[in-house]
């Protein structure tokens, strides 16, 4: 099963993608997590990506597409995967389509997690992330058991640099201009499903499971 999570930054794509990955036993692939891991490890790729991420801009396609195609070619992806944060524009979606077509494969479902802009800034300013294992929390909605500490791996939690309100506005602008057109792109392919992302995490997940079966 190959699934794409669509939605504004902070809509809950990562939260739901992790739950899907666990229930259906498929890898969760987040291009944002891959970039952040590279930044943390001080790689050249991380340094290049950081220039764009800190401004709320998209990392150039040639870099992003290469990373994603390498990742989905790995053995653990043979039974499918859930993509979170990729594709983020039409050219990326076209490259993915072409790569899948060559293998006689296709995307099974694109799930749009719909959350209005007015909820997004609040979600992002309350998000706390573990840069070690990729877990995410929310100060009000999904707090960690111990303040500032990751439940999963015990590392310290941080407010991501790009979750500060000034950068979130840029990210929302980029989303509306470049990513939102993908709703029409996948709708035209007949694989788009929309869920109301303003519900509780568990209710959003139940809606998704209802769609996936
Ligand atoms: P995305 O991957 O789309 O950027 P996240 O999954 O990281 O978004 O979620 C953004 C923030 O909102 C996080 O702090 C997360 O814990 C919180 N969150 C996710 N889903 C919900 C929800 N249904 N209700 C309230 N808060 C949520
Ligand atoms: P995310 O963790 O999905 O919110 O992504 C954080 C940042 O990483 C984005 O604001 C972009 O700068 C970069 N990024 C992640 N995925 C992509 C992608 N598919 N294309 C371009 N940039 C990306």
pLDDT in tens, 84-101: 999 999 999 999 999 999
Give 74: exposed, middle or buried? Use CB within 10 Å, 0-12, 13-18, 19+.
Answer: exposed
Say how far apart CA 191 and CA 212 lie, in whole Å: 11
pLDDT in tens, 110-165: 999 999 999 998 899 999 999 899 999 999 999 999 999 999 999 999 999 899 98
Summarize the confidence of residues 180-191 as an average pLDDT: 98
Share of the chain above pLDDT 90, in %: 94
Report the nearest atom of ligand 1 relative to the CA of 15. Answer: 6
Say how far apart CA 62 and CA 59 lie, in whole Å: 9
User: In sequence order, which residues have a C-beta less than 8 Å from that of residue 182 and are 6 or more positions away?
Assistant: 6, 87, 88, 89, 90, 93, 110
pLDDT at 150: 97
Where does 54-180 have alpha helices with state H? 61-72, 90-102, 117-126, 165-174
CA of 11 to the centre of ligand 1 (A): 6
Q: Which helix (H) or strand (E) holds 196?
A: strand 192-196
pLDDT at 122: 86
pLDDT in tens, 53-65: 999 999 999 999 9
Summarize the confidence of residues 168-178 as an average pLDDT: 96
pLDDT at 192: 98
pLDDT at 64: 98
Summarize the confidence of residues 169-184 as an average pLDDT: 97
pLDDT at 193: 98
Q: Which of 35, 136, 144 to mutate to test the pocket of ligand 1 (most atoms within 8 A of CB)?
A: 136
Share of the chain above pLDDT 70, in %: 100
- For the annotated catalytic residues, the residue numbers are 13, 88, 127, 160, 171
Q: Which of 141, 152, 179, 206 to mutate to test the pocket of ligand 1 (most atoms within 8 A of CB)?
A: 141
Q: What is the mean pLDDT of the chain?
A: 96
pLDDT at 213: 86
Beta bridge partners of 115: none
């Amino acid at each position: 099963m190959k699934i794409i999570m669509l939605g504004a930054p902070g809509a809950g794509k990562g939260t739901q993608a992790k739950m899907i990955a666990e229930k259906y036993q498929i890898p969760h692939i987040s291009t944002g997590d891959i970039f952040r891991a590279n930044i943390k490890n001080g790689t050249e790729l991380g340094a290049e990506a950081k220039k764009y991420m800190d401004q709320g801009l998209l990392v150039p396609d040639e870099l992003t597409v290469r990373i994603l195609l390498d990742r989905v070619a790995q053995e653990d992806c043979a039974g499918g995967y859930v993509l979170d944060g990729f594709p983020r524009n039409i050219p990326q979606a076209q490259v993915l389509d072409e790569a899948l077509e060559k293998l006689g494969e296709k995307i099974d479902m694109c799930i749009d997690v719909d959350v209005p802009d007015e909820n997004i800034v609040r979600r992002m300013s309350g998000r706390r992330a573990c840069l070690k294992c990729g877990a995410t929390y929310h100060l009000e909605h999904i707090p960690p058991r111990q303040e500032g500490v990751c439940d999963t791996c015990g590392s310290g939690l941080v407010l991501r640099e790009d979750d500060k309100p000034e950068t979130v506005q840029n990210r929302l602008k980029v989303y509306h201009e470049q990513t939102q057109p993908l709703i029409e792109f996948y709708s035209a392919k007949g694989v788009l499903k929309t869920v109301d992302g303003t519900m509780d995490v568990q209710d959003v997940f139940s809606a998704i499971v209802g769609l996936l079966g």
